[in-house]
Structure 1
């Protein structure tokens, strides 16, 4: 017989007896898995039963706010970033257009240094303050063009004094509305 014909005959599927087609997954006395065509009890092993998947717990905290729709939400997001000392979270509230990778990294380092001091107050610049500390939507245009004389509203962070004078340090960020969200400009 030719070798090619012999290989073809060997490659054809041959029916197996019904008993040989069942594979049992067992666990022996030492806890090792065993795969066999015999019953687990014949090998003094027990059938393997998969454990139920653990139930997933509800998240411990609500996910962080990703987009501030109004000034009070932006202010709260800043307070939460300071509470957790998360410079990346604060950086996520900013528009970094035109800063480049190195500029953004340097900016986040400055934010981390700022967050080393306790936060005293978060608010608007005194000339812009309102009763609810939130600007009306009309005061927050979608974008303030750079070539206009219009000054965008500002968010003022007051942190504990760095020089021991007791006078809080101020850091100001321009606030702009873009795509329905309020963002800080570094």
Structure 2
């Protein structure tokens, strides 16, 4: 009788954990976050978490499992993708925002909104000197270019941008 009661209690304790479903964190085609109980691909979005691999371990540091650039190639690729999608939010996801208040962040995102509307010509620079996003005038002949300089900082095992100054 006591065993049956203990078994029943254990069953009730485990029941809520079994009823929980996984939450998938995704990015929609418009660059906005999407949270779903369905896999990202089934809702037409891209997963924020990297695909699990045998080389991933818990010793990767505090950023393990988060979306961040581990090297300059990933950081450049993320910035190029943000320009291709014309998404200031994607650029914002590559920025280390510590030290910026909400008003400063909003102002920087507005500046980046106008920046990503311009066609990207090239990304120049490196970790030490930062990245210059060279853009041309929208609909122009490409002769008029502008440069937006992003400083590059390393934090928690990731490379991040600082907003153009």
TM over 0.5: yes
CA–CA distance in structure 1, aligned partners of residues 109 and 40 of structure 2: 31
Q: Which runs of 5+ in 2 are unaligned?
A: 1-37, 51-66
Deviation of 1:159 (Å): 0.5
In proportion to residue count, which structure has more strand? 2
What is the aligned partner in structure 2 of residue 70 from structure 1? 71
User: Of residues 151, 154, 169 in structure 1, which corresponds to 2:146?
Assistant: 169
Deviation at 1:164, TM superposition (A): 7.4
Distance (Å, rounded) in 2 between the aligned partners of 1:156 and 1:165: 17
Decide whether the 8 Å contact of 1:117 with 1:159 is kept in 2.
Answer: yes
Structure 1 Cα separation of the partners of residues 46 and 144 of structure 2: 35
Alignment of 1:51-90 (within 5 A): 59=41, 60=44, 62-64=46-48, 66-90=67-91
Residue number among 130, 149, 160 corresponding to 2:136 in the alignment: 160
Question: Cα distance, 1:69 vs. partner?
Answer: 0.3
Which residue in the other structure is 2:122 paired with? 121
- The equivalent residue for 1:100 is 101
Unaligned runs of 5+ in 1: 1-55, 129-134, 136-151
The alignment's TM-score, normalised by the length of structure 1, stands at 0.51
In 2, are the aligned partners of 1:158 and 1:171 still within 8 Å (CA)? Answer: yes
Q: Deviations over 1:23-67 (max 9, x none)?
A: xxxxxxxxxxxxxxxxxxxxxxxxxxxxxxxxx676045435720
In the TM superposition, what whole-angstrom CA distance separates every residue of 1:137-164 from its partner, at most 9, and x where no partner exists? xxxxxxxxxxxxxxx4301100003797
Greater share of helix: 2
Paired residue for 2:113? Answer: 112
Q: How many positions carry a matched residue from both structures?
A: 106
What corresponds to 2:161 in structure 1? Answer: 184
Give the TM-score normalised by the residue count of structure 2.
0.57
Aligned Cα root-mean-square deviation (Å): 2.4
